[in-house]
A and B are shown apart, each in its own frame.
Chain A
């Protein structure tokens, strides 16, 4: 069975600094996809970044990058130059075949 673990219930970061949100996963299948979603206080789920298990390079999208370490089964999200608007819940998710499961989430607070 697939499992996603986010061990940081809450994180704080100073505005303009970088922050890493941890995500580890467990699967025996070689083909899978990893996602990060942002959920602001409004409740919507906003797609941030995607990494395929066969992708050779780490995914990047603007200030978001995914530190994909396949052997360690980790897919940490790095947010550079944090902004106050980055304060939100962040969910890591893994897709396998027709199924996507989420981690418990990390609440990020950006301090001015």
Chain B
């Protein structure tokens, strides 16, 4: 069964440092997403990406965040200058078409210290 792969599974970073979270979506999928989940809380939408551009972003996704699909297979989330409150589980998801369900990766747990 095809799957969405996220690396690393856990990343610890110093406050103020830049982090890049990596995702490899399913190869024939066209729509890509990042969500985050602060420990014990709800899953929050960050950004959606289609046709090499952001199609929608939430109020959480400010200037500190950016996404990229640099090589046609990876889909990355960059946080430029991490804050303590960025500590969360970050989920990547993808889907093939508008009518399809989302496939989630297993998540990257980001800890900012």
**Bound Cα distance A45, B42 (Å):** 12
Interface of B is mostly: strand
Shortest Cβ distance from B45 into A: residue: A101
Separation in Å of the A92 CB from the closest CB of chain B?
Answer: 10
Q: Which B residues, 88 to 106, have Cβ-Cβ distances below 8 Å to chain A?
A: 89, 91, 93, 98-99, 101-104, 106
* B55 at interface by CB-CB < 8 Å: yes
A contact residues, range: 20 to 34
Q: Which A residues, 90 to 109, have Cβ-Cβ distances below 8 Å to chain B?
A: 91, 93, 95, 97-105
Q: Measuring CB to CB, which residues of chain B are less than 8 angstroms from any residue of chain A?
A: 31, 33, 35, 41-45, 48, 50, 55-56, 89, 91, 93, 98-99, 101-104, 106-107, 109
- The answer to whether B42 touches A35, judged by C-beta atoms less than 8 angstroms apart, is no
Shortest Cβ distance from B31 into A: residue: A98
A residues in contact with B107, CB < 8 Å: 43-45
Shortest Cβ distance from B104 into A: residue: A45
**Bound Cα distance A110, B48 (Å):** 35
- The answer to whether A100 touches B109, judged by C-beta atoms less than 8 angstroms apart, is no
Q: A45-B91, A105-B42 in contact; A98/B55 too (CB < 8 A)?
A: yes
Q: A43-B89, A44-B107 in contact; A103/B56 too (CB < 8 A)?
A: no
